[in-house]
Structure 1
Amino acid sequence: FACQLAGSLARSGRKTLLVDADLRRPRAHQLMQVSNELGLSELLTEPDLRPESVIQQADDRNLFVIAAGRVTEEALQQIARDGARSLFTAMRKEFDFIIVDSSPMLCVADSGSIARNVDGAILVARQDVSRVPVVAVACERMDMLGLPMLGSVMVGVQSNLSGYGYAYDYHYATSGGAA
C-alpha cells in the first residue's frame, strides 16, 4: 500500500519520498524497481554516508525512494535507539510527503521505534488474514505510542463477491505484464 500511496502523491505533483523501513522483509525496492544496494540500513550504520547518496528517483519525476539496503543487526539496533530521527528531520525539509513502509505493528519493535518519527499512520489490514482482535490491539498500540491514526485500508478485497455493496478493485502490473 505504501508504494501505491507514494506513487499517487507523486503523480499529483507532490515531491514524495518513500522510505522502506521494513528491515525484516523489505519489498519496496522490488515494487519500485530500484536498487537495494544502499539504503536505510547503511544510512543508520555509516555516519559519513549522506542521504543524497542513497535516495533514488523512481519512474515518476516527483517520486524518490530510500530502499532498506542490506539489513544488519547494527541497523536494527539503530532503529531501536531512534537512530533515524535526524534523517527524518532532514528529509522533512526536502519533500512534501514522506511515506514510511514499516514492519507490521505487532510483529517486531521496529514499528514502534519508527512511529516516533512520523506524523501519523495508516493501518493496513488484509481481507481474510487480519483478524479483528489483532487489528484492535494494533490500534491500541498506536494509541499508546501517541501515534495519530490517519485512517485504515483493507487490501486484498475481492470485488466479485455477491451481495449489495460498492467497491473498487485495484490491480497492479509491471510495465510489460497484465494484471
Structure 2
Amino acid sequence: MFKKKTKETNGERPSLITLTRPSSVIAEQFRTIRTNIQFSMIDQDLKTVVVTSAGPGAGKSTISANLAVTFASQGKKVLLVDADMRKPTVHKTFRLPNHDGLTTLLTEKDVNISDIAHRAPTEGLFIITSGVIPPNPSELLASKRMDKLMNELDQIFDLIIFDMPPVVAVTDAQVMASKVDGTIFVIPKGLTNKDMVLKSKDLLDKVHANVIGAIFNRVEMSGDNYYYYYGEKE
C-alpha cells in the first residue's frame, strides 16, 4: 500500500495548471506535448524520462509536475520523482512533507517504495519527494542502488518522470540522462543564452542521452499568461 492520498487544500496552485484549470489553453498545450512525446518514441517503450534545463529559472519543475498530471489523466500509473536533491521543489508544488524521499530510498536498505511514495489527488499519480538534501547527490544517483531502485520502479509504474537540476550547474542530470529512455530539455524564452544551450547539448551528447525534444516556455499568448511549446530535436 502506498502512503495515504494527499488531501486537496484550498487555494490556487498556479504551477499546477493542468490540475487546477484543466480546460485552459495551457493545459491543452500540455496535452499536445504529451501526444508529441508519445509519437517521438513510437518505436520503443518510453518508461523513464528526465526533465532538465540549461540553467536555473527555466520552469523545468513546473513542467515536470504538469506533464506527470497530464500523463496520469490518460489512465497511466505515473510516478514523479524529485531527483533535484540540491534545490527540491516538488514537495512544495504538491504540498507534501519532505522528511523522507529519494534520499531515504537510496541510503536506507529496509525502506520500501510504498513507504515513501505519496498518492497525489490526481488518480494514478504518485510522487516521491527528494527527502533530506544529501552532501553527495551525484554519487547517489550514479550508485548501483539507484540502478536497482529504477528497476524496481519500472515494475510498478507505466511512466517515471525525474525532475533534475540544470545540466550546466552540476553533473546530476548527465548521470540520470544516461540511464533513462528519454530526456526533455526546457528552454525559457529570453532567460537562457545560446551558448548555455549549446553547452548543455554537448554535455548530454557526451553521455549519449536520448534527447527526445525541447519545451520552450514563458512565451506570451493572448488569453493566458504563458504557454508551452514542444519541439522535437532535429
Task: Output the TM-score relative to the length of structure 2.
Answer: 0.66
Determine whether 1:37 maps to 2:64.
Answer: no
Q: 2:220 aligns with which of 158, 164, 170?
A: 158
Q: Are residue 13 (structure 1) and residue 75 (structure 2) matched? A: yes
The CA deviation string for residues 40-63 of structure 1, in whole angstroms up to 9 with x for no partner, is 011111111111110001111210
- Offset of 1:156 from its aligned partner? 1.5
Which residue of the partner structure matches residue 159 of structure 2? 97
Contact 2:117 2:128 in 1 (8 A): yes
Question: Could you tell me how far apart the structure 2 residues matched to 1:12 and 1:42 are?
Answer: 30
Where does residue 226 of structure 2 map in the other structure? Answer: 169
1:115 aligns with 2:182: no
Counting only pairs closer than 5 Å after superposition, residues 61-100 of structure 1 correspond to structure 2 as: 61-81=123-143, 83-100=145-162
Deviation digits for residues 70-115 of structure 1 (CA, Å, limit 9, x no counterpart): 1121555322435411111111111111011000011111112222
Q: 1:131: Cα distance to partner?
A: 1.0
* Residue aligning to 2:191: 129
Is the contact made by 2:183 and 2:212 (CA closer than 8 Å) also made in structure 1? yes
Contact 1:122 1:151 in 2 (8 A): yes
What secondary structure sits across from 2:213 in the alignment? strand
Task: State the AA in 1 paired with 2:212.
Answer: L
Specify every segment of 5 or more residues in structure 2 that has no aligned partner in the other structure, as ranges: 1-62, 229-234
Aligned-residue RMSD, C-alpha: 2.0
Higher fraction of helix: 2
Q: Is the 8 A contact 2:177 2:210 kept in 1?
A: no
Letter in 2 for 1:119: D
Q: Which residue in the other structure is 2:47 paired with?
A: none
1:59 corresponds to which of 94, 105, 121: 121
CA distance in 2, matches of 1:120, 1:82: 20
How far residue 24 of structure 1 moved from its aligned partner, in angstroms, is 0.8
Q: Does 1:106 find its partner at 2:193?
A: no
Counterpart AA for 2:161: I
Match of 1:27 among 66, 89, 96: 89
List structure 1 runs of 4+ shifted beyond 6 angstroms.
Answer: none
**Does the CA contact (< 8 Å) of 2:221 and 2:227 recur in 1?**
no
Shift of 1:117: 2.4
In 2, Cα distance between equivalents of 1:152 and 1:74: 28
Structure 1's unaligned 5+ residue stretches are 161-166, 172-179
Using structure 1 for the length normalisation, give the TM-score. Answer: 0.85
What is the number of residues matched between the two proteins? 165
